[in-house]
Amino acid sequence: MEKNAPHYDLLIIGGGMVGASLACALGNQPLRIGVIEAVPFRSSSQPSYDDRSIALAYGARKIFEGMGLWPQVKAIATPINKIHVSDRGHFGAMRMDAAHQGYPALGYVVENRDLGQLFAKQLASFSNIELICPAQLKNLTITADDATVVIERDGEVETLTTRLIVGADGGRSAVRQLSGISHTSDDYHQNAVIANITPGRDHQHVAYERFTDSGPLALLPMSDGRCSLVWTVDRDKVDDVMAWDDETFLARLQERFGMRLGLLQKTGKRNAYPLALVRADEHIRPRLALIGNAAHVLHPIAGQGFNLGIRDVAALAQVIVEAKDNDIGALSVLNQYDQWRKHDQACVTNLTDGLVRIFSNQIAPLVIGRNSSLLAMDLIPPVKRALMRQTMGLAGKLPRLARGIPLQ
């Protein structure tokens, strides 16, 4: 190790949406924080801040409020006032309405690139945060006293030391791999095709989730009257879908979605993402914690991945700040984060995975069962309320940030 390697209280590996959120949450705290990110925020190849849009649950809004970032996020967000869930060709449907439930909105749609620019600006404003970018994690070692991180920056190898490494480096986490934490990966054999669609009718801030025999599709309200499409297709069909010309793509989409948004007029560029459920077998070790996709990658069917990740952020940030003069890398401190997050992570993972499996199946009793469940959720208010609280990120014991309260 270099003799005078720079020392940090906390090194966050990955400045994507979850890692940057943690850094912003801890901005202005008496902690020296380094964020190591491989790809510059404004680069077209940035994998977190790419062409996607993301549905932020109302619970994520509360966390941004607690971080003091909500006015900036609100300025780039389109509210979702209603959600309409349906099963194409069957009787089941469920509606959720923010006004009926007493919320200003059920969630918000934000373009990932806009969020990237916002985080970049915000991180630069904190004197306790150093963005080390572009730089790639190459190795790490952990001892009882501290952790050492080896990075490559501008072709040079550098060594840094820290009390705590936070792995926020996504689904293929190098932190996870280098620390020898195993994971399970269940391939859904599906891809999500995304594009921005201009519909013939005003979206009126309604988000549509439609289950079809060829996979679920979601159309979320965006700025300028556009909708953000996430269309799940079987892996063996994805090349065809990507190869269709725009006219064919819109016609096939219209066939599956129907006329609720009028005639679909225009589509933007398409991108495809392979889908799998990935779960790390451990989320903490002494001097190490995993958050966001490094800990759990979900199917985008219910728009829960980032929302779950930012709740990891809210809990970990609070545990770190409350550790005060104690060692923030100690297992006893990190255990609090792990225990706090287990229930929510299991609920959301099981809910998302269950939805994929139930709605990918065309066996008659299952189709009747899922449509009856949709109707039951629509008609029985306590069932609907419980589901909404979970998917909006408002269930269980909430960290301060998730209640919209600053960390201190």
Ligand X SMILES: Cc1cc2nc3c(=O)[nH]c(=O)nc-3n(C[C@H](O)[C@H](O)[C@H](O)COP(=O)(O)OP(=O)(O)OC[C@H]3O[C@@H](n4cnc5c(N)ncnc54)[C@H](O)[C@@H]3O)c2cc1C
Q: Cβ of residue 295: shortest distance to ligand X, in angstroms? A: 8
* Residue burial 275-306, b: 16+ Cβ < 10 Å; e: rest: bbbbbbebbbbbbbbbbbbbbbbbbbbbbbbb
Asked whether position 17 contacts ligand X by CB under 6 A, the answer is yes
Closest Cα partner for 281 from 372, 198, 185, 191? 185
| DSSP codes, 127-170 | TTEEEE-SEEEEEEEE-SS-EEEEEEETTEEEEEEEEEEEE---
Q: Cβ of residue 257: shortest distance to ligand X, in angstroms? A: 17
Asked whether position 39 contacts ligand X by CB under 6 A, the answer is yes
Number of Cβ atoms within 10 Å of the Cβ of 397: 9
Choice between 192 and 402, CB closer to ligand X:
192
Choice between 230 and 367, CB closer to ligand X:
230
For residue 68, what are the CA distances in angstroms to 16, 21, 94, 370? Answer: 19, 12, 34, 41
> Which residue is at the shortest CB distance from ligand X?
16
Mark the segment that binds ligand X (CB under 6 A) among 47-55, 139-147, 158-166, 351-359: 47-55
Asked whether position 55 contacts ligand X by CB under 6 A, the answer is yes
Residues with Cβ < 8 Å from 174, sequence gap 6 or more?
13, 137, 167
H or E element in which residue 230 lies: strand 227-234
Asked whether position 37 contacts ligand X by CB under 6 A, the answer is yes
Half-sphere exposure of 203 (CA within 13 A, CB side): 29
Q: Cβ of residue 356: shortest distance to ligand X, in angstroms? A: 13
Choice between 314 and 367, CB closer to ligand X:
314
Give the SS3 label for residue 341. helix
Closest Cα partner for 273 from 298, 304, 248? 298
Q: Cβ of residue 4: shortest distance to ligand X, in angstroms? A: 23
H or E element in which residue 110 lies: strand 107-111
Q: Cβ of residue 14: shortest distance to ligand X, in angstroms? A: 3
Asked whether position 307 contacts ligand X by CB under 6 A, the answer is yes
Tokens of 236: 């063996």
Q: What is the DSSP letter of 3?
A: T
Binds ligand X (CB under 6 A): choice among 136, 177, 223, 265: 136
Asked whether position 390 contacts ligand X by CB under 6 A, the answer is no
Mark the segment that binds ligand X (CB under 6 A) among 154-162, 170-178, 255-263, 383-391: 170-178
Residues with Cβ < 8 Å from 122, sequence gap 6 or more?
20, 24, 27, 69, 72
Asked whether position 12 contacts ligand X by CB under 6 A, the answer is no
Asked whether position 47 contacts ligand X by CB under 6 A, the answer is yes
Binds ligand X (CB under 6 A): choice among 12, 13, 142, 241: 13
Choice between 268 and 369, CB closer to ligand X:
268
Binds ligand X (CB under 6 A): choice among 64, 306, 337, 340: 306
| DSSP codes, 368-408 | HHHHHHHHHHHH-HHHHHHHHHHHTT--SS--TGGGT----
Binds ligand X (CB under 6 A): choice among 110, 140, 168, 313: 168
Residues contacting ligand X: total by CB under 6 A: 36
Asked whether position 19 contacts ligand X by CB under 6 A, the answer is yes
Binds ligand X (CB under 6 A): choice among 194, 328, 374, 407: 194
**What is Dmax (Cα atoms) for the chain?**
69
Mark the segment that binds ligand X (CB under 6 A) among 52-60, 117-125, 199-207, 373-381: 52-60
Asked whether position 312 contacts ligand X by CB under 6 A, the answer is no
Binds ligand X (CB under 6 A): choice among 69, 80, 165, 192: 192
Binds ligand X (CB under 6 A): choice among 304, 352, 390, 391: 304
Asked whether position 377 contacts ligand X by CB under 6 A, the answer is no
Q: Which of residues 213-242 bind ligand X (CB under 6 A)?
A: 230
Count of residues for the chain? Answer: 408
Residues that bind ligand X (CB under 6 A): 13-19, 36-39, 47-48, 52, 54-55, 136-137, 168-171, 174, 192, 194, 230, 273, 292-293, 300, 303-307, 309
